[in-house]
Amino acid sequence: MLEIIFVRHGESEMNRNNMYCGWTNSSLTEKGLRQAERVSEKLADEAIDLIISSDLDRCFKTAAIINRLHRKTIIKETALRELNFGAWEGLTYHEICRDFPQEIKKWQEDFINFKIPEGESLLKMHKRVNKAFGRIINEHKEGKILIVSHSGVIRSILTQQLLGSIDGYWKFKIKNCGITRMEIMDNFLVLVGMNQ
């Protein structure tokens, strides 16, 4: 059996300020560091075989804090980055509505296929993320893998693996440093827990 433990990174500066933060490197806040310490304690007794992290600082720092007790080599995976918000990076929703009124309307009408200016569409991110996840679970059929990533990435994997499409993307709420668990046996995937 293969066990997957997903952890979203701790609160970042841009999270705290309600800014869109995809590929921008945003440091963990003091609260985010405390969240990472708490999740590290929760996972202290887990026999983790492999740790994979988004290469962005907020994830890698969270993974490094968890890894203090496990002493594994953390594998950085760029394909597990959040959605690239392009020209919207660092802006609040209010600012995007003000500065990109036509674009935000198109996004609201078709959030799956609309390509954010200078960024990517949700569909492109979804394919990128699930291709990487498929590779991970094909290469590792048993053991326990910790994946530290972003809310959008974890939602994308959950909707694809559990519902078979991108359509359920907004049906999952992923909290900062929440633990989401999956088990895979004979290519059958079970959701064990969310936001633990």
Alpha helices (H) along 43-150: 57-67, 93-99, 101-109, 122-139
**91 assigned to some structural domain:** no
Whether the model pTM is above 0.75: yes
- Count CB-CB contacts under 10 A for residue 190: 12
Q: Is 9 a catalytic residue?
A: yes
Which residue ranges are tagged as binding site for substrate? 8-15, 58
Give the dihedral of Cα atoms 120, 126, 131, 132; nearest 10 deg: 80
Q: Is 150 a catalytic residue?
A: no
What are the pLDDT tens digits along the chain (196 aa)? Answer: 999 999 999 999 999 999 999 999 999 999 999 999 999 999 999 999 999 999 999 999 999 999 999 999 999 999 999 999 999 999 999 999 999 999 999 999 999 999 999 999 999 999 999 999 999 999 999 999 999 999 999 999 999 999 999 999 999 999 999 999 999 998 899 999 999 9
**114 assigned to some structural domain:** no
Domain holding 153, by residue range, is 2-15+28-83+121-193
d(CA 63, CA 149): 9
Catalytic residue of the set 3, 82, 89, 120: 82
**104 assigned to some structural domain:** no
**131 assigned to some structural domain:** yes
- Count CB-CB contacts under 10 A for residue 185: 12
pLDDT of residue 187: 85
- The CATH number of whichever domain residue 79 belongs to comes to 3.40.50.1240
**7 assigned to some structural domain:** yes
Number of domain units in the chain: 1
